[in-house]
Amino acid sequence: MGTKKLIDESSLYVMNTYKRFPIVLRKGRGMKVWGTDGREYIDFVGGIAVNILGHCHPKVVVAIQKQAQRLLHVSNFYYIEPQIKLAKLLVRHTFADKVFFCNSGAEANEAAIKLARKYSKENISPERFEIITAKDSFHGRTLATLTATGQERFQRGFEPLVPGFTHAPFNDIDAIGKAMTKNTCAIMLEPIQGEGGVKLPDPNYLKEVRKICNENNLLLILDEVQTGMGRTGRFFAHEYFGITPDIMTIAKGLGGGVPIGAMLATDKVASAFQPTTHAATFGGNPLVCAAAIATIETLLEDGFILDQCNRMSVYMKERLENLKLKFPALIVEIRGLGLLLGMELTIECEAIVKTCLEMGVLINCTAEKVLRFMPPLIVQKKDIDHLINILEKVFERLP
């Protein structure tokens, strides 16, 4: 079926929840994807920070093929081999002692919210259920996670929202103090706000939040759904800031392209979940766990991918900074860590994204004026050079 026909059928049959570009992607390898129109694109969106190893990484593909032949799905009424192996791998490389598996970022955050409430009610005070999150944060689209999300535009029309969430401006320690009540049980933050415009924490912000949590018996929940899995050049972004959370959520990059999420916690906190308190039918299913194991093994044990990410981060920032020198009236700031990079513009960037796509490069725009780059961590200099050339051409043509 041709591209136009496919797009027509999409509007006929698929619910209209996405603002989509008029291409249909059919195949991918490494940094590249191909459309049904036969066109080739270089992908700096990477499935929104999902395809950390690039498209169809052979180790992930083979792991999926092997597992698909052995066992696709069984209930969590039984023990699942790849699930145990994946949990062990995550525990070995993080602060956490225990892992709960689910299918997405929002679901991981739901699990975190439920665990924080249950732990605090049972161990600190039955009155405790409130969670402080940041303004401009993004935590997902389920009712609780969109309430946690500090942006009204995602909430409008879905009221009444879930009780018990307050929002404090990001990077404002005093505001957290003011938002706190005797019923607060947790503070939930993205270490770097991704969807909110690639906003970095001030150097001591997370340390001070950790201190407030310790002094007031609050749990610190870090949403590393976007920043985790090597995206920022370390396995997890909080490693840069000298703290560990009590609960951490991950998803996006975890499965190298398959839908899997996880909520990790210390033993102390995890003990509030007992048999029957929380569940997910597909959570930690053999197929997705096999993909995630292959992804993590490739990311950490082959060793060079995080190095590559860090080297390319330096190179890409340098090239983007050079563009900023060339277009000072257009570019406000380049920021980010690893390969989660943002370029804030003085104008809305929707049209720029569209022109780049027409010129064969996929990029993303968030928070209206921020170009967000989340390429696979295997990106090479030649890909970055290509992106910069295209951006330069597009910027030159702007009125």
Ligand X SMILES: *Cc1c(COP(=O)(O)O)cnc(C)c1O
Helix axes 304-326, 381-397, angle to 10 degrees: 20
Residue in 117, 118, 139, 335 binding ligand X, rule: CB under 6 A: 139
Q: What are 26's two structure tokens?
A: 């059919």
Nearer to ligand X, 143 or 330 (CB): 143
Nearer to ligand X, 190 or 246 (CB): 190
Measured at CB, which residue is nearest to ligand X? 105
Instruction: Assign 391 to helix, strand or coil.
Output: helix
Nearer to ligand X, 94 or 104 (CB): 104
In this structure, the strands spanning 98-102 and 25-29 are unpaired
Taking CB under 6 A as the rule, does residue 298 contact ligand X?
A: no
37 is catalytic: no
Taking CB under 6 A as the rule, does residue 111 contact ligand X?
A: no
Nearer to ligand X, 54 or 228 (CB): 228
CB of 202 to ligand X, least distance (A): 19
Cis omega before residue 328 (within 30°)?
Answer: no
Amino acid at 169: P
Taking CB under 6 A as the rule, does residue 364 contact ligand X?
A: no
Taking CB under 6 A as the rule, does residue 138 contact ligand X?
A: yes
Taking CB under 6 A as the rule, does residue 150 contact ligand X?
A: no
Taking CB under 6 A as the rule, does residue 106 contact ligand X?
A: yes
- Give the Cα separation of 347 and 370 in Å (integer): 9
223 is catalytic: yes
Taking CB under 6 A as the rule, does residue 130 contact ligand X?
A: no
Count how many residues are written for the chain: 399
Considering only 38-46, 161-169, 190-198, 357-365, which stretch makes contact with ligand X by CB under 6 A? 190-198
Which residues, 197 to 236, sit near ligand X by CB under 6 A? 223, 225-226
Active-site residue, from 138, 165, 235, 236: 138
Taking CB under 6 A as the rule, does residue 110 contact ligand X?
A: no
Contact status, residue 145 vs residue 139, Cβ threshold 8 Å: yes
Residue in 194, 201, 257, 342 binding ligand X, rule: CB under 6 A: 194
Helix H segments across 76-124?
Answer: 81-92, 105-123
- Give the Cα separation of 163 and 130 in Å (integer): 8
Taking CB under 6 A as the rule, does residue 342 contact ligand X?
A: no
CB of 271 to ligand X, least distance (A): 25
CA 218 to the chain's CA centroid: 24
Nearer to ligand X, 20 or 393 (CB): 20
Residue with tokens 């190095």: 307
Taking CB under 6 A as the rule, does residue 370 contact ligand X?
A: no
Contact status, residue 34 vs residue 40, Cβ threshold 8 Å: yes
Contact status, residue 368 vs residue 299, Cβ threshold 8 Å: no
Active-site residue, from 118, 165, 170, 223: 223
Active-site residue, from 236, 252, 373, 383: 252
- Give the Cα separation of 253 and 194 in Å (integer): 14
Taking CB under 6 A as the rule, does residue 133 contact ligand X?
A: no
Taking CB under 6 A as the rule, does residue 120 contact ligand X?
A: no
Taking CB under 6 A as the rule, does residue 140 contact ligand X?
A: yes
Residue in 179, 251, 270, 391 binding ligand X, rule: CB under 6 A: 251
Considering only 83-91, 119-127, 136-144, 389-397, which stretch makes contact with ligand X by CB under 6 A? 136-144
- Give the Cα separation of 163 and 148 in Å (integer): 10
Phi-psi region of 282 (alpha: psi -120 to 50; beta: other; left: phi over 0): alpha
44 is catalytic: no
CB of 56 to ligand X, least distance (A): 20
- Which residues are CB-contacts of 174 (< 8 A; sequence separation ≥ 6)? none
Q: What are 70's two structure tokens?
A: 């052995």
Task: List, in sequence order, every residue forming a beta bridge with 362; answer none if it has no partner.
Answer: 43
Residues that contact ligand X, how many (by CB under 6 A): 15
In the sheet with 364-366, reading across from the earlier edge strand, the strands are 331-337, 340-345, 370-373, 364-366
Taking CB under 6 A as the rule, does residue 292 contact ligand X?
A: no
Contact status, residue 68 vs residue 59, Cβ threshold 8 Å: no
Taking CB under 6 A as the rule, does residue 280 contact ligand X?
A: no
CB of 262 to ligand X, least distance (A): 11
Q: Would you please indicate which residues are annotated as catalytic (active-site) residues?
A: 138, 223, 252
Residues in contact with ligand X by the rule CB under 6 A: 104-106, 109, 138-140, 190, 194-195, 223, 225-226, 251-252
